[in-house]
């Protein structure tokens, strides 16, 4: 069983990433953000280079700090309750408040994404401990942010 866990972790990271991206598309469609994204993609070259400059922050620093926040919130809430849905909803609510400045679509996307990330963190925390739980939440987060920043920075001209 131990030998299969790395493959299982990789497979579930991909599932987590696909789930986050599907929920992001749904939230964009539901909030009417698709036309806004198209306008943003058609931004000037100068704006694209500014977005590329924030790339390391968006794909490394932010996911690392936010995954640390997920781990801290989960560990604190596990002392109060073992209701996984309640814990994930709490993590998602905190993420929503932290992302309010970015607009409705991003806030809804943060709610769904952080709910899923917290679920995967808790799942792998229980299966294989904190390190793999952290990886299970961090890697899809990095992939999702990487896709979002790349799409905006290198959008259609």
Q: What is the pLDDT of residues 86-135, one digit of tens each?
A: 999 999 999 989 888 877 777 888 888 999 999 999 998 998 888 889 99
* Average pLDDT of the segment spanning 9-14: 82
Q: Return the closest-CA partner of residue 96 out of 88, 107, 104, 109.
A: 107
Average pLDDT of the chain to the nearest whole number: 79
pLDDT (0 to 100) of residue 53: 56
Please give the model's pTM, rounded to 2 decimal places.
0.77
pLDDT (0 to 100) of residue 33: 57
Distance CA 29, CA 31 (A): 6
CA dist list (Å): 141 to 2, 32, 115, 116, 133: 25, 23, 12, 10, 13
């Amino acid at each position: 069983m131990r030998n299969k866990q790395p493959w299982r972790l990789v497979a579930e990271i991909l599932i987590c990433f696909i789930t986050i991206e599907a929920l992001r598309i749904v939230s964009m469609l539901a909030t009417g953000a698709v036309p806004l994204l198209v306008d943003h993609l058609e931004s000037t070259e100068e704006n694209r280079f500014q977005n590329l400059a924030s790339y390391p922050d968006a794909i490394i620093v932010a996911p690392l700090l936010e995954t640390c926040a997920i781990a801290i919130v989960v560990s604190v809430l596990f002392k109060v309750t073992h209701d996984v849905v309640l814990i994930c909803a709490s993590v998602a609510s905190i993420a929503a408040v932290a992302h309010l400045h970015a607009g409705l679509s991003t806030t809804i996307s943060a709610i769904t994404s952080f709910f899923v990330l917290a679920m995967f963190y808790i799942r792998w925390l229980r299966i294989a401990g904190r390190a793999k739980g952290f990886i299970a939440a961090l890697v899809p987060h990095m992939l999702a942010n990487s896709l979002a920043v790349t799409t905006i920075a290198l959008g259609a001209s």
